[in-house]
Structure 1
Amino acid sequence: MGLWVILRPGPYICSEIDLGGLPSWLLQDSGMRLRTTYKGFTEAVDLYFDHLMARVVPLQYKHGGPIIAVQVENEYGSYNKDPAYMPYIKKALEDRGIVELLLTSDNKDGLQKGVLDGALATINLQSQHELQLLTNFLVSVQRVQPRMVMEYWTGWFDSWGGPHNILDSSEVLKTVSAILDAGSSINLYMFHGGTNFGFINGAMHFHEYKSDVTSYDYDAVLTEAGDYTAKYFKLRDFFGSLSGVPLPPQPSLLPKIAYEPVRPNLYLSLWDALQHMEEPVSSEKPVNMENLPVNDGNGQSFGYTLYETTIASSGVLSGLVRDRGQVFVNTVSVGFLDYERKKIVIPLVQGYTRLRILVENRGRVNYGDNIDDQRKGLIGNIYLNDAPLKKFRIYSLDMRKSFFQRFSVDKWSPIPEAPTFPAFFLGALSISLSPFDTFMKLEGWEKGVVFINGQNLGRYWNIGPQETLYLPGAWLDQGINQVIVFEERMAGPAIQFTETPHLGRSQYLD
């Protein structure tokens, strides 16, 4: 394609994805210290680099490939928990054959602590004010070395319950122009943001926990679906004026289709589905998601975990739940436990009664100093009237493709007038011609996950801001397409499709 590559091999990359791209099985070690020279972490990094660099090294520019530079970790100056860590990562890359220019990348909070001997420091920013401050610092430490804005943030990501963040296109053009006037190279983050398909979204947890929405549109230069924006046209004209060479015609866009609504006609409650799943884990105490003895010892990474035990009295239920736990007495929902609600009242029960807690991993923190504390599920004991509950049956509900293969057609039933939730709803999208991109709208539904032909499209939640899910045409087949919705609390009459995305109430970034 004629594109040069600046490679960010990690192991931590941030990018608003779960745990910054680190695998959750690392957290099985109770003493794990991520992004440090802790032995348990470096052993995993060494193994990862052994495999990855064997593929990367031949693709470097000096070997005739497109890779012209390699970034050492990402924004470590903002984390900075181990002064030996960045030199270790740099040496690990060089020892495995990396010979191209090495870079670091830091924002205003970490630039001073992120500088690494033998690597070119670059900066991440959004405003012209930041540009002046950070450029002055780079000049003071690097003198006449090249300057680069590794990440110019063309927009921003969104969190559930917040607004859809946007950055004015005129502001983007002014800042890009100022960056080039300052003699700096530039990388647009994001040029195209894309989508947090499945459960891969990350989260932030400073004053409060906030998980990222499924869309990673980012208000970027291209939309989530790859369409042009005002930013695209302004930047195209601007860069074209600098090159002095006519730019090639821009590619034509593929159409978007508003398909006919899908009305689910079959249903399977979670409680009925349990009998068709793998045997639950039996444990005297709750076990967090990552430490469950499933997936060949790798634990559970994503999705939901269901904890069941037996109680014989009412009272106050309390415990540490990460991230959101819906509590059931038998099959009746009695409330939620989460970061804000650490206690709920269990109503009067008669005799031995099944207590169930359905815990969702909403996304592990990808940026911040608390990434070691990202285990999900029930964390430690759960208490009823201050007494720890015992003898749990634990179901791993990762909702991968193999998960749904257990639900053959004969397991489903017609949708009753009053469905029992949580539940799976099954419908079919019929496409007579070649499929194209579309946007799915779940008006009347509350919170859950959508699966298309067995693939996890992502989460929806009526608290917004995101109102539609981007569904690529490449996910669809000509003919019948299976649509499954896992809904936690309230189902709408249909699943609608539209030609245009609705990402929610907009808020301009300062």
Structure 2
Amino acid sequence: MRRIAVVLLALLALQASKPALAQQKHSFKIGENAFLVDGKPIQFFCGEIHPYRVPPEYWKDRLQMIHAMGMNSISIYMFWNVHEPHKGKYNFSGSADIAKFVKLAQEVGLWVILRPSPYACAEWEFGGYPWWLLKDKNIKVRTKDPVFMDAYRRYIKEVGKQLAPLQVQNGGPILMVQIENEYGFFGSDKEYLAMNRDAFRDAGFSCDFFTCDPPYVAENGHLPGVYAAVNGGMKSDVIMSTQDKINGKAPYFVSEWYPAWFDVWGKKHHVASAQKMVEHLEPIFKNGISLNMYMAHGGSNFGFMNGANYDDGMPYQSQTQSYDYDAPINEAGNATPKYYAYREMVAKYHPTGATLPEVPQPKKAMAIPSFTLSDVATLWNNLPKPVVSETPKSFEDMDQGYGYVLYESTLPAGKGWLKVNGLRDYGVVLVDGKRLGLLVRSKKLDSIWVDCKKPNAKLSILIENLGRLNFGQYLNENKKGIIGKVLFNGKEVRSWKMYGFPFENVANIKYKKESVGATYEAPIIRRGTFTLASAADTYLDMSSFGKGSVWVNGHHIGRYWNVGPQQTLYIPAPWLKKGKNEVVVFEMLKMEQNKLQGLDHSILDDLKDEMFFGPTAVQQIN
């Protein structure tokens, strides 16, 4: 084993030091004791990166950073909801141009391990599944359900058109393709796994396939005849014993090893030390084990693409906009102490005379002086055509995937609890324009006390989709909005009008110059501008605001929430421009705030005492 490790590490070093992979046909095979490229052993020093979390203008830079870190390969999840945002309408352009990303990886000198399974997890909205699947109330994702599998197969065929030509045997960099992702957590249906394998074969993928699972559920997620990788922070003996049991003499591969972890709103920012990383990884590499670091570079959950977790005994937890992950390459693409510690460790295994590529220069960051959001718009001055129903409808039933829905009805005179059954996920409650408080799924707050002194009071509930579940047994219970009955004083509230605000485009919002007034309590939209002589990365400081979303020059840079730990929003330089830049802010809680500034650094670890989670007092409507 030691002799094999020495050979593999030497070959790894040679691969890592190459300026680029020659664009010619190669062979790849999972051998009895080693991964083989053109018949020669290779050990994977691999890093996970998702093109959808990085502006396309920065793709090559991030890939060069990964290569200079000492890695010879990358692992890529694909997200179905990016490539088929609406049923039958496929998107492989712009930030969804996955073929371009793979070609750039090859140009930089990186092999590609592709993970296009329609289920990704990845702390991504619905685990990568498109929301429109849920329009069928009977659908069961991640099963043999014919409706689900038909949609799945159609999508994978489109993926095959893009990427099958880029397999290694065709001259591309793609060595292996994953057919399912940690399925052992979800089920053990071997027929379903076989259907996954066959779908990829039918789509033109003829390379080696693999699955991945932590050791304790690996048997569940394994399909006989398909290579099984393992995920997690195990030691070498556990990695080898697990894979020996399932794969026999096949080589060893940790398909996900975590340098830290992701963040959720209202919880402490996750960090881990570079020293502990090296202490854990070095014995693994010495044993000739291949490993993919999840994440090498995390990036950002731009738009409404963050996911959420929920399981028995654990409350719903929405993930932050930043996917920094405390990775070796931070959210802005710059090297951290982990980066250099990893690079130094890898360099020790290189043969005499081999050198790693130079580390790219750090990206510049700038501050932006305070500017005013001078234009104001209300939701009620921008109402779309309503959906009318006796009972509340979900986002999906309204043909809406993301964003917000304003639910409106009336209440009779009287006092009692207003209870929203099936709250998904966060609601601002107003009666006759006066805010009573908040409904928050993560805090199990689904009720608020109301005292109406007059009949036919106008009830308004603005509901936000905070991200569909991306992991666990409840993937099929992922509808958003109000998915149950609304009760006031024990009686059902009926006759609803629902107004969708998906905010897919913020260019046509109607603004007014005048102030909405200091006593205005409903969510509002503000717009302002700032001027630049030149552009660099910056971080919009949202710490004085409450909760909402931000667009810069039309790019949805994500949502913010005063609870933290994240208090800034990363704006990449390519989304800024010389001259005037426009900022649009949708604010749900602190309507009086109208000043913003940009910082030259991020704030990802600031939890606030001021917790905008739910109502703090009973309020009376006169």
**TM-score of the aligned structures, taking structure 2 as reference length:** 0.77
2:597 to 488, 496, 499: 496
Name the stretch that deviates more: 187-196 or 441-450: 441-450
2:355 to 242, 246, 250: 246
**C-alpha separation in 2, matches of 1:124 and 1:505:** 30
Given that residues 266 and 415 in structure 1 are in contact (C-alpha distance below 8 angstroms), is that contact kept between their aligned partners in structure 2? no
**C-alpha separation in 2, matches of 1:335 and 1:134:** 50
Given that residues 382 and 510 in structure 2 are in contact (C-alpha distance below 8 angstroms), is that contact kept between their aligned partners in structure 1? no
Given that residues 435 and 521 in structure 2 are in contact (C-alpha distance below 8 angstroms), is that contact kept between their aligned partners in structure 1? no
**C-alpha separation in 2, matches of 1:240 and 1:63:** 31
1:423 to 501, 521, 524: 524
2:76 corresponds in structure 1 to none
Gaps of 5+ in 2: 1-106, 608-622
**C-alpha separation in 2, matches of 1:383 and 1:408:** 34
Given that residues 328 and 357 in structure 1 are in contact (C-alpha distance below 8 angstroms), is that contact kept between their aligned partners in structure 2? yes
TM-superposed CA distance for 1:192, in Å, is 0.4
1:399 to 499, 503, 506: 503
Note the alpha carbon deviations across 1:468-509, whole angstroms, 9 max, x for none: 111101111111111111111114352121111111159xxx
2:135 corresponds in structure 1 to 28
**C-alpha separation in 2, matches of 1:495 and 1:481:** 13
TM-superposed CA distance for 1:197, in Å, is 0.6
Name the amino acid aligned to 1:369: Q
Given that residues 60 and 66 in structure 1 are in contact (C-alpha distance below 8 angstroms), is that contact kept between their aligned partners in structure 2? yes
Given that residues 271 and 331 in structure 1 are in contact (C-alpha distance below 8 angstroms), is that contact kept between their aligned partners in structure 2? no
- Tell me if 1:82 matches 2:186: no
1:42 corresponds in structure 2 to 149
Name the stretch that deviates more: 35-44 or 100-109: 100-109
SS of 2:376's equivalent in the other structure is strand
Closer/same/farther in 2, CA of residues 283 and 419 from structure 1, 3 Å limit: same
2:23 corresponds in structure 1 to none
Closer/same/farther in 2, CA of residues 127 and 468 from structure 1, 3 Å limit: farther
Residue correspondence of structure 1 range 65-214 to structure 2 within 5 A: 65-80=172-187, 82-128=189-235, 131-206=236-311, 207-214=314-321
1:482 corresponds in structure 2 to 582
Note the alpha carbon deviations across 1:77-98, whole angstroms, 9 max, x for none: 1111633211110111112221
Given that residues 259 and 497 in structure 1 are in contact (C-alpha distance below 8 angstroms), is that contact kept between their aligned partners in structure 2? yes
2:473 to 359, 362, 369: 369
Closer/same/farther in 2, CA of residues 108 and 167 from structure 1, 3 Å limit: farther
- Tell me if 1:385 matches 2:507: no
Given that residues 215 and 242 in structure 2 are in contact (C-alpha distance below 8 angstroms), is that contact kept between their aligned partners in structure 1? no
Name the amino acid aligned to 1:269: T
**C-alpha separation in 1, matches of 2:558 and 2:492:** 35
**C-alpha separation in 2, matches of 1:196 and 1:90:** 29
Closer/same/farther in 2, CA of residues 78 and 185 from structure 1, 3 Å limit: same
Note the alpha carbon deviations across 1:71-114, whole angstroms, 9 max, x for none: 01210011116332111101111122211110111124421211
**C-alpha separation in 2, matches of 1:300 and 1:349:** 35
2:437 corresponds in structure 1 to 335
TM-superposed CA distance for 1:431, in Å, is 0.6
SS of 2:574's equivalent in the other structure is helix
SS of 1:262's equivalent in the other structure is strand
Given that residues 267 and 564 in structure 2 are in contact (C-alpha distance below 8 angstroms), is that contact kept between their aligned partners in structure 1? yes
1:291 corresponds in structure 2 to 397
**C-alpha separation in 2, matches of 1:82 and 1:499:** 50
Note the alpha carbon deviations across 1:390-443, whole angstroms, 9 max, x for none: 211111111111xx232245x45346444443111111121122x110011123
TM-superposed CA distance for 1:65, in Å, is 1.2
Residue correspondence of structure 1 range 233-382 to structure 2 within 5 A: 233-244=340-351, 245-274=354-383, 278-292=384-398, 299-314=399-414, 315-318=416-419, 319-339=421-441, 340-382=444-486
TM-superposed CA distance for 1:25, in Å, is 0.8
Name the stretch that deviates more: 14-23 or 52-61: 52-61
**C-alpha separation in 2, matches of 1:357 and 1:505:** 29
2:101 corresponds in structure 1 to none
Name the amino acid aligned to 1:162: K
SS of 1:380's equivalent in the other structure is coil
Name the amino acid aligned to 1:446: G
**C-alpha separation in 1, matches of 2:519 and 2:487:** 32
Closer/same/farther in 2, CA of residues 109 and 265 from structure 1, 3 Å limit: farther
**C-alpha separation in 1, matches of 2:266 and 2:154:** 39
1:296 corresponds in structure 2 to none
RMSD: 1.6
Name the amino acid aligned to 2:483: I
1:463 to 563, 584, 590: 563
2:542 corresponds in structure 1 to 442
The number of residues matched between the two structures is 491
Identity %: 34
Name the amino acid aligned to 1:46: R
After the TM superposition, list the runs of 4 or more consecutive aligned residues in structure 1 that deviate by more than 4 angstroms.
Answer: none
**C-alpha separation in 1, matches of 2:188 and 2:341:** 41
**C-alpha separation in 2, matches of 1:127 and 1:215:** 27
Name the stretch that deviates more: 324-333 or 104-113: 104-113
**C-alpha separation in 1, matches of 2:275 and 2:347:** 17
TM-superposed CA distance for 1:253, in Å, is 1.7
Closer/same/farther in 2, CA of residues 487 and 305 from structure 1, 3 Å limit: same
**C-alpha separation in 2, matches of 1:259 and 1:70:** 44
Name the amino acid aligned to 2:529: A
Name the amino acid aligned to 1:357: I
**C-alpha separation in 2, matches of 1:127 and 1:118:** 24
TM-superposed CA distance for 1:258, in Å, is 0.6
Closer/same/farther in 2, CA of residues 141 and 81 from structure 1, 3 Å limit: closer
Note the alpha carbon deviations across 1:23-47, whole angstroms, 9 max, x for none: 0111111111110011111011011
Name the amino acid aligned to 1:291: D
